Chain A
C-alpha cells in the first residue's frame, strides 16, 4: 500500500501546474472562453510540447504508455484551472483506437495525436460531444460498434455547454469504413477510463472551490469581523473539506483500477467513485457559492465557473443515479 506519486508523475504535474498558473490564469482563460472556437491552439501546442497528448498513448506509437494514475495529477491541475481545451475527448478516442484500431489506423493517428497535429473527439450517444467541431477524426458509437469517422462524415450542431466549453450534437452521415475491434466492451472500458479522469478533474476543481472559499471566509468582513469567525460557516467549510478528501480518496481508487482489465472490479470501483464524486461535487460547489454570498453568483469570480464545471462533471459519464444502478448490479 502506498499513495506515493512517482518522481515523473510529480514533475509532470508540477510543470503542468506552473504552465497553467503562468499562461492560463483566470483573465487569460476568459479571453480563450470568449474566442469563437472556445479553446486555444497555442495552449494545445503547449500540451503537446509537455508530452501530455502522448502520455496515455502506447510507447510504440509515439506515446509514453501512461495510465489513469499517471494522468491524475494532470487532471487535477486541469480541474483547478478549468481548462477548456478538448483534452479528454482526444484521450478517449486515442485510447479506443490504441486498443481497437488496426495497425494501420494506429500508425496513422496516434503519433499525430501525440505530436499535437490532430485532434479527436469521442461520442457515445451523439449528444454533448466536447471538441466535436474542431476534431479531425471522431470515434463514434454506432449500434454495438465503435467506428472512426472523418470530420466530413458527421453532421455537427455546435453549441456551448453549461461551463462554456465548445460541444456539439453530432450525427453520422453515412457508414464510416473504419471499425474498431471490441464493440460495447471497449466502449465500457473507454467510458470507465474517462469517468476516472473526470473524478480526478473534479477533485482539482473541488480543491479550488475549498481554497477560494476559505480565503473568502478569512478576508470578507461583516459585523466588523471576518465571516470565518462564525461557527455556522466554519462547520460548513469543514464539511466541504471533508467531502473533498473523501472524493480524493475515491478518485485514487477509480484511477488505480481504471486501467485494469478485470471488468467487474474496474466497473465497481469507477461507479463507486462516480457516486461519491457526483455527490461531493454538488455539495462542495453549492456551498462554495453560498459561502461567497452574492459575489459567488457573478461571472467575475472564478468560483462561479468552478461551480458550473463541477455541475457538468457530476453528470458527465453517468450521474449518481446511473452509477447507483450500475453499482447495485455489480
Chain B
C-alpha cells in the first residue's frame, strides 16, 4: 500500500500544474478568487484555451479528441484545475451530452455535434427537472407528439442551469403517456434553443445570482434526427449518464484550495483582540473539516484505485463522494462566514460581503445533481440492498 502518487503520476501532475500556472488568464483567476459570477464569454474563453491545448475532453475516445489518460491521470488533472482556481466549466456538453452521443448516438449525430461541443462553438444545457418532477424525475410531463418531420414539444423545464447562455438543450420528454411503465414513455431529444416556441425565464437565486432558469416549450418543432437512441428509451440514456464515471464528484481540488484560503483568511482575523486561530471553538471546527477532507481525498483515491484495477465504472461510490464532497463545500463556506464575522452579512468590502452570498449560494450543492437524500436512497438500494 502506498498512498503517495508514483513518480510518473507526480511528473504528470507537475506538467499539468505548470501549464495551468502559465495559461490560466490572470483576470479569470482573480474573478474566480473573488467569487464573482462568470459570463458566457469568460467560460468560453477558458473552454477554448483548454480545447486548443487538447485538454478539454480527456475522457473522450482519442478519435474524437480525448487524451488517452488513465482514470488516475484524469482525476489528477481535474483536481489540478480546481486547485489552480480555474473557472468550473459546466458539464452539460463535454461531460453529459457527449458521453450520451458516444454511447447511443448515430454516426451523423456524433459528427454533427461532438466537434462543436469540443470547440465550444455550441453551448449546452440540460432539460431534466420540471415543476412537478424533481427527485421523482420519471413523472415528467413535457410531451413530444409525433409529427411528419419529427416531434412537436410542449411543456416546461425548470432549474435549467445556464439556459440563458445555451445554444442547445438535451431534454427528457414524454413520447408515450400511455406506457404501462412510465419510464418506458420517455425519450431523449436534442433541441436547438433558437427554435421558435422556446422561452427562457430567469430565476433569481437567494444570493441574487442568475444561473438557473425556467424553459418553456410551446409547440416547438424538433426533427426526428435529433432523437438519441430509440423512442421510449430515454430513461435508459438518463440512467447511463447517471452511472457515467464522474471522477470529480467530490470536487476535492477546489475544496483543498478553499481550505487553504480559509486558513489564510482566518490567520488574518482577530476575535476580541485575539487571533481567531487561537479561538479553540473555531480552530476545532476547522481541524475537523480538514480531517474530513483528508479522508475524502483518500476515499476517492481508493475508489479510483479499485476502478483502475477492475476496469469497472464506479457504482454507488459516486453517491458517497457527492454527499461528503458537498457537505465539505458547504462547511467551507460556513466557516468562511464565521471567520469574516458580522461583515459577511453586509459590508462595503466586496469580498467580505461575497462570503455571505456564497454561503447562501452553496446551499444548492446538496440539492442539485440528485439531492443528497436521493444519493442516500441510491446507496441504500444499490450498495446495501435495502
A residues contacting B by CB (< 8 A) are 1-5, 69, 72, 214, 217-218, 228-229, 231, 234-235, 237-239, 241-242, 245-250, 252-253, 255-256, 272, 275-276, 279, 324, 327-328
Contacts and interface: CB of A to CB of B under 8 A. Distances in A.
A283 to B, nearest CB: 12
User: Which of A1, A234, A252 has the most chain B CB atoms closer than 10 A to its own CB?
Assistant: A1
Given A1-B4, A1-B5, A1-B305, 12 more contacts: A1-B301, A3-B301, A4-B305, A214-B384, A234-B376, A238-B384, A245-B299, A247-B295, A249-B298, A256-B3, A272-B294, A324-B284
Interface in B359-386: 373, 376-377, 379-380, 383-386
Contacts of A235: 373, 376, 380
Nearest to A279: B288
21 contacts: A1-B3, A1-B4, A1-B72, A3-B305, A3-B306, A4-B305, A214-B384, A218-B385, A218-B386, A231-B377, A234-B377, A234-B386, A235-B373, A247-B295, A248-B302, A253-B294, A256-B1, A272-B290, A275-B291, A324-B283, A328-B284
Contacts of B291: 250, 272, 275-276, 327
Given A235-B380, A237-B380, A250 B9 contact: no
B6 interface: yes
Interface string B256-275: 00000000000000000000
Nearest to A69: B1
B287 interface: yes
Main secondary structure of the interface of B (DSSP, over half): helix
A288 to B, nearest CB: 14
Nearest to A226: B386
A248 B295 CA distance: 8
A154 B128 CA distance: 72
User: Which of A2, A235, A253 has the most chain B CB atoms closer than 10 A to its own CB?
Assistant: A2
A229 B302 CA distance: 30
Interface residues of B, number: 37
Given A250-B291, A324-B284, A1 B2 contact: yes
Contacts of B320: 242, 245
A253 B379 contact: no
A314 B309 CA distance: 33
Given A1-B5, A234-B376, A276 B295 contact: yes
Contact of A238 (B4, B290, B301, B379): B379
A275 B287 contact: yes
Contacts of B287: 275, 324, 327-328
B3 A252 contact: yes
B376 A2 contact: no
Contacts of A253: 3, 294, 298
Contact of B298 (A228, A242, A250, A275): A250
B322 to A, nearest CB: 11
Contacts of A218: 385-386
Nearest to A210: B384
B323 interface: yes
A229 B381 CA distance: 10
Contacts, number: 106
Interface string B271-285: 000000000000110
Contacts of A327: 287, 291
A250 B4 contact: no
B42 interface: no
Contact of A249 (B284, B288, B295): B295
B292 interface: yes
B2 A2 contact: yes
Contacts of B296: 246, 249
Contacts of A246: 292, 295-296, 299, 324
Contacts of B294: 250, 253, 272, 276
A243 to B, nearest CB: 10
A319 B281 CA distance: 17
A221 B306 CA distance: 36
B342 to A, nearest CB: 25
Contacts of A279: 288
B305 A324 contact: no
A217 B386 contact: yes
Nearest to B298: A249
Contacts of A241: 379, 383-384
A163 B2 CA distance: 33
A229 B295 contact: no
A276 B292 contact: yes
Nearest to B309: A4
Contacts of A272: 290-291, 294
Contacts of A239: 376
Contacts of B283: 324, 328
User: Which of B296, B299, B373 has the most chain A CB atoms closer than 10 A to its own CB?
Assistant: B299
A249 B302 contact: yes
Contacts of B379: 238, 241-242
A217 B288 CA distance: 30
A235 B302 CA distance: 23
A5 B1 contact: yes
B326 to A, nearest CB: 12
B324 A242 contact: yes
A245 B297 CA distance: 12
A217 B377 CA distance: 15
Contact of B302 (A3, A5, A242, A275): A3
A16 to B, nearest CB: 17
Contacts of B4: 1
Cβ-closest 4 pairs across A and B: A249-B298, A234-B380, A246-B295, A249-B299
A313 to B, nearest CB: 17
A218 B292 CA distance: 30
A297 to B, nearest CB: 23
A254 to B, nearest CB: 10
A15 to B, nearest CB: 19
User: Which of B1, B301, B302 has the most chain A CB atoms closer than 10 A to its own CB?
Assistant: B1
B294 to A, nearest CB: 6
B1 A238 contact: no
Interface string B303-338: 001100100000000001001100000000000000
A166 B291 CA distance: 33
Contacts of B299: 245-246, 248-249
Contacts of B72: 1
A3 B4 CA distance: 10
B6 A1 contact: yes
Contacts of A256: 1-3
Contacts of A217: 386
